[in-house]
């Protein structure tokens, strides 16, 4: 049942994105992925199964995780004028993966 709820939330986000993309305010579709759907789930799971300090560490790491997302958006913004959309998305995703890997590597060194 828990897995079904998570799948329903994901499907709801996709439906909302598709609907918003067709409206006059299509740009709001860029805000929807930032709704903390998965963060709520993660924080609930960590908060129920671990200490408050572990939850606070998870929250702090989440704050830093904005950096890879910004790298993705900045890369996509620059690439979309230079490449086909699919290639731009691929390059931006690789940029996110590199930034996320660097973030995790630094985090592990600093917080171990």
Is the separation of the CB atoms in 63 and 43 below 8 Å? no
Q: How far apart are CA 84 and CA 13, in angstroms?
A: 25
pTM across the whole model: 0.80
pLDDT average, residue stretch 29-47: 87
**Residue 2 pLDDT > 90:** no
The confidence score (pLDDT) of residue 48 equals 95
Sign of CA dihedral 43, 46, 50, 54: negative
Task: Tell me the helices (H) and strands (E) count for the chain, helix number first.
Answer: 5, 0
Contacts 24+ apart (CB under 8 A), 10-18: 10/37, 13/37
pLDDT tens, 98-111? Answer: 999 999 999 999 98
**Residue 112 pLDDT > 80:** no
């Amino acid at each position: 049942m828990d897995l079904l709820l998570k799948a329903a939330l994901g499907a709801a986000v996709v439906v909302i994105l598709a609907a918003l993309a067709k409206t006059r305010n299509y740009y709001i579709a860029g805000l929807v992925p930032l709704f903390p759907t998965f963060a709520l789930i993660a924080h609930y799971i960590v908060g129920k199964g671990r200490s408050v300090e572990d939850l606070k560490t998870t929250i702090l790491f989440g704050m830093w995780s904005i950096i890879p997302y910004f790298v993705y958006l900045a890369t996509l913004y620059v690439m979309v004028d230079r490449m086909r959309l699919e290639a731009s998305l691929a390059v931006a995703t690789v940029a996110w993966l590199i930034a996320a890997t660097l973030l995790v590597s630094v985090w592990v060194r600093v917080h171990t």
